[in-house]
Amino acid sequence: MTDDEQNNLINTLDFDEFSDSEHKSYKLYNFRRPDKFSKDNLRALRDIHREFSKAISLVLSGYLRMRVEIEIVSVDQLTYEEFIRSMPSPISVGVFEFEPLSGQILLGISFEVISCIVNRMLGGLGSIDTQTRELTDIEKALAKKIINIIIKSLEDSWNTIIPVTGKFISLDDNYQSIQVATAGEIVALLTFEVQISGKHFGLFSICFPYPVLETVLGHLSTQHIFQTKGLVASNDERMKMISKINSSTVDVRVQFGSCSITLDDFIQLTEGDIIKLDNKVEDDLIVKVNGEKKFFARPGTIKDKICVKITDVYDEMHELLRNYF
C-alpha cells in the first residue's frame, strides 16, 4: 500500500461513530515513524550511559593526563535517515558490535574532540585544529585506539545489565558510506557533551539501531537497573577501579598570595625586585587541584625543598571571614 493510499484510507474513517464508552483505549499510530522504544527503555538507556560517561571521563583523564569531562545530554529515538541527515561531515565514526547482540552500533566523535585528543596523544597541549578536515592515516590509527578504549568502557557499563563483548569493526570519516540499518528503521541516539581542560568543547554520539536492542528490551527498564545496582562489587572489580584512579594525574598548585600592580610596574620588574602580597605571614595558603580551591596549607621546607603542609579542607566562608578581619 502506497503512502497516498494509506492517507486516503485514514481520511475515510469516521471516528465520531465510535462512542467514548466503548472505545476509550484507542490511540493514534504513526505508520511512518512508529515508537519502538518505550519511555522506560529510553530512561534505562540514559541511566546506563550516565554511569558510562562518569567512567570514561576518569579513564580518558588518566590516559591523556588532562581533565576530560563527559556528560550525557539527550536520548532520542528517530529514523536512521533522520539520524544520518543530522550528523556533520567530516566526523570520525567507529563501527562496532556487542556480541552476542545482532547488528552493528555507531560511535561518532566530532572533529573538535578527536583533533584535540590526537593532538595530546602526539605530545601537544591538547589544542583543537581550527580547520575542519579528514584525519591523516597516523591520526586515524590514534583515533582507533581511543575508540577501542571507549568501547571497552562502554562494554563494562553494559555488563552490569547484560554480558556483552565489544568488537571494533571499522573507522570511517562520514556516515554516508555506512549502512547499518534501513532508512526508515528506528534508532536510539545518545548524545554526549565533552569538555577538555575546561576550555575545549565538542560532542560524541552512540547510535543503537532497534534490531540490536530488540532481544534485550526486557532488560532495559529502570526497575531492572535499580535491582542490578544493588549487587555488591567483587574485590576484583574494586581493585580494577582503584587501579584506574591511581593512574590519573592531577595538577596541584599553591597560591602564596595576590596583589594588584600597574602594567607599567609589571613590565619594569627585574631580578631582585620585591612584590608585596596582600596576605599576612600567619595566613594559610590555598592549594588548588585542577584549578579548583581544595585545601588550606602552611609553608615550610623539607631538607632543601620548599613544601606545604595541609591544615584543613578549603572553606569559602572561612576565606571570606579571614579577608574581612
Tens of pLDDT along 187-245?
999 999 999 988 888 999 999 999 999 988 888 876 655 555 544 455 676 677 777 77
Q: The domain spanning residue 318 has which CATH number?
A: 2.30.330.10
In a domain, 89, yes or no: yes
241 shares its domain with 256? no
pLDDT of res. 314: 85
Cell of 116: 584535540
Q: The domain spanning residue 180 has which CATH number?
A: 3.40.1550.10
- pTM here is 0.62
In a domain, 262, yes or no: yes
279 shares its domain with 233? no
In a domain, 318, yes or no: yes
The ranges of the chain with pLDDT < 70 are 1-34, 222-235, 237-238, 318-325
Q: Length of the chain, please?
A: 325
Q: What is the CA radius of gyration of the chain?
A: 27
**Sign for the pseudo-dihedral over CA of 49, 50, 51, 52:** positive
79 shares its domain with 164? yes
Measured from the Cβ of residue 213, the count of other Cβ atoms closer than 10 Å reads 23
How do strand 305-313 and strand 105-109 relate by DSSP bridges?
Answer: unpaired
**Sign for the pseudo-dihedral over CA of 94, 95, 96, 101:** positive
Q: In what order do the strands lie in the sheet with 105-109?
A: 68-79, 186-196, 200-209, 105-109, 92-99, 165-172
49 neighbors 190 (Cβ within 8 angstroms): yes
In a domain, 296, yes or no: yes
Span 78-95, pLDDT tens digits: 999 999 998 988 899 999
Give the range of the structural domain holding residue 50, as residue numbers without chain letter. 39-246
| Overall domain count for the chain | 2
